[in-house]
Amino acid sequence: MNTCLLFDLKYISTRDLNYNPALGTGQLQIRDIHYVGTVRRTTWEFCQMLDAKFIRSKGEDAWRMMAAKYKWIKAE
């Protein structure tokens, strides 16, 4: 009998979800699919976590350029 586990991406723990720039923009990687920790978080908290991972990888200037390009933030 095969077992299948299903995870809501939003709840995968921060340490188990990696942003890997070698995979291309917007690509996420799960560290070890057989051992996934979960954390309850809101969609807003999930977005903040993804932004933080991107900024640690590419820098805040790269994040701001992408945010402006895709109109994620309003110009003041």
Say how many domains are in the chain. Answer: 1
Q: Is residue 1 part of a domain?
A: no
Residue 32 C-alpha from the chain's centroid = 15
Spatial distance between the Cα atoms of 31 and 23, rounded to a whole number of angstroms:
14
Per-residue tens of pLDDT for the chain, all 76 residues: 788 878 899 999 999 998 877 877 778 889 998 899 999 999 999 999 999 998 998 899 999 998 989 888 876 6
Spatial distance between the Cα atoms of 53 and 18, rounded to a whole number of angstroms:
8
Structural domain including 25 reads 9-69
End-to-end CA distance of the chain: 57
**pTM of the model as a whole:** 0.79
Q: Is residue 38 part of a domain?
A: yes
**Residue 54, CA distances (Å) to 1, 7, 61 in order:** 39, 22, 11
Paired tokens of 65: 């350029």
